[in-house]
Structures are given as structure tokens and as C-alpha cells.
Amino acid sequence: MPQFPSSTDASGIWKMNEILNFRKGFNWPLNELYITNLRHLYDAALSETVNGSTWTDIANSYGSTGAVNLTNFNSPVYTSNSLQSFLSYNGSNQYSTGINTLNLSAFTIYVWLKTTTTATSGTFYTEPTICGVGTGGAPSRDFGLTIKSGYAGVWQGINSTGDLVNQPTNNNNAKVNTGEWFEIICSSSTVNGTRLFVNQTQIGTALSHTQNLDAVNNFYIGVSNGGSFYCNMDLALFALYTEDLSTENRALNWNFLRSRFGR
């Protein structure tokens, strides 16, 4: 794989115009993507990083010491579409795994996806899962970023002290099944709780931070590893940070990527 140029300033900002011009030969606006505490980054626009059953983590090119490649199961389909390239998960048996979240007390999951799914199961922990952690009932460790009837949601729990769920089905800001690209963020810390954002708008209220993101079993994309809760979606970009991103840094990423995804 080619070595991509890397340019950062003292605050850890990735100068993305240099990277993207190298990748695709595009003239890209001067812009930045936040990379401090970036643990994992998978970007389908880099076609050379999606190779059969492997999706290469490029975070180590930008300072991560925990980068690990994803393994794709049952052949999610790669579609090359310039900077809107993506990996399609069929909602029935396709998923990716390999990430270990290592007991994170603060984290941000950052996703760009599109979907038209209307699927629902009626139970929060069996809804179609964008990504999640399942421990077979172990206390205080399960987590899911989900889509119920086309609405983004998040939950945590399956433990003796109760479960916490933010799964709206009547908030239009949470509706993500229009076939357009959406930015979905889940961030969590003891200070701010567990929050959900769609295109920079906070959805519902924060859940109490009652647990760390601790993948005793591997962290899964496209399904929860606690069961067969698959999600039909096209995934263009997935990142995991080991911090709860600030308003400023969430906006930084949005302002860089929004035009790439037609927003």
C-alpha cells in the first residue's frame, strides 16, 4: 500500500487537502479533519484499502498506536464511486470485526452512511445494528448504535441495574433512511454522558455514562455480536476516537466532509 503524506500542526490537526489531493487527484478546499486520539479510521474512498475480506485501518498513518484491520465476513460488496465509495452490508449476514475497544472511559464513534432500511424488531437491543459490543449478558458492557424503523438510536446496558436507551421514532432529525448520506456520531464520557448526533444535531437527551466501551468480545460493524441483528447500509467512513469530541472538533469534521457527501 502506498505511504500517504501526513501533515499536522501542533494541535494534532490533519491537513486533509494534502492527503486527498494525493489520493484522488482532486482539487479539494483547504480543510481539516481532527485526528488527536484517533484510534481507528476506515475510508472506502481509498480503494486500495478494501481488498476482499480486509478493510485496512489507515489511522496508523496519522499517529495511532492501536490501528487494526477489519475482517469482512460473507462478502460485503465494495462500490467504487470516487470520494463517495462505500462498502454495502446486506442486512442478513454481512459484517466486519476486528476492533478491540480496550475499556474506553471516553470515546467517539464517527460514521458516514446511507440506508433505506425500515426494519425493526421491537426490542432495543435487537434492532438493526450499525456497530456494537455484545458480551452475552455480562454486566455493564453491552452497547449498540442502531437504526429502528429508519431512525438512529443508541443504547447501553443489559445489566442488573437497568438499561439506558435513546431510540426515537418520531424525531425527524434522527431519520436516516432517505437514501442520502448521513453523518452519525455517538460520543461518551463521564462528564457529558452518552450522546447521539445526526448531521451535527443532538438527538434526544444524553444517557448517563454508566459503563465504559469495553469489547471483551470484538467490536462489530454491521451487526451486534450479541446476536443476529444485522443492518442494511452503505458505509463510506468509520472512525473511532478515544475521546469525547468537543463541539468544535465535531464541527471541524463536518465542515471538511459534508461537501464530499453532498451536504
Per-residue pLDDT of the chain (263 residues; tens, 9 = 90+): 334 444 444 444 444 444 444 444 433 333 478 999 999 999 999 999 999 899 999 998 888 888 899 999 999 999 999 899 999 999 999 999 988 777 889 999 999 999 999 999 888 888 999 998 876 555 556 889 999 999 999 998 765 556 789 999 999 999 999 999 999 999 999 999 999 999 999 999 999 887 788 766 578 999 987 668 999 999 999 999 999 999 999 999 999 999 999 99
Q: Which helix (H) or strand (E) holds 250?
A: helix 247-257
Residue 75 backbone phi and psi in degrees, to 5:
60, 60
pLDDT of res. 181: 98
pLDDT score, position 231: 97
Which domains does the chain show, CATH number per domain? 38-245 (2.60.120.200)
Reading the block at residue 13, the C-alpha cell is 490537526
pTM of this prediction?
Answer: 0.87
Calpha distance 133→225 (Å, rounded): 6
Question: What pLDDT shows up at residue 68?
Answer: 92
* pLDDT recorded at residue 62: 82
Which DSSP state fits 88?
Answer: E
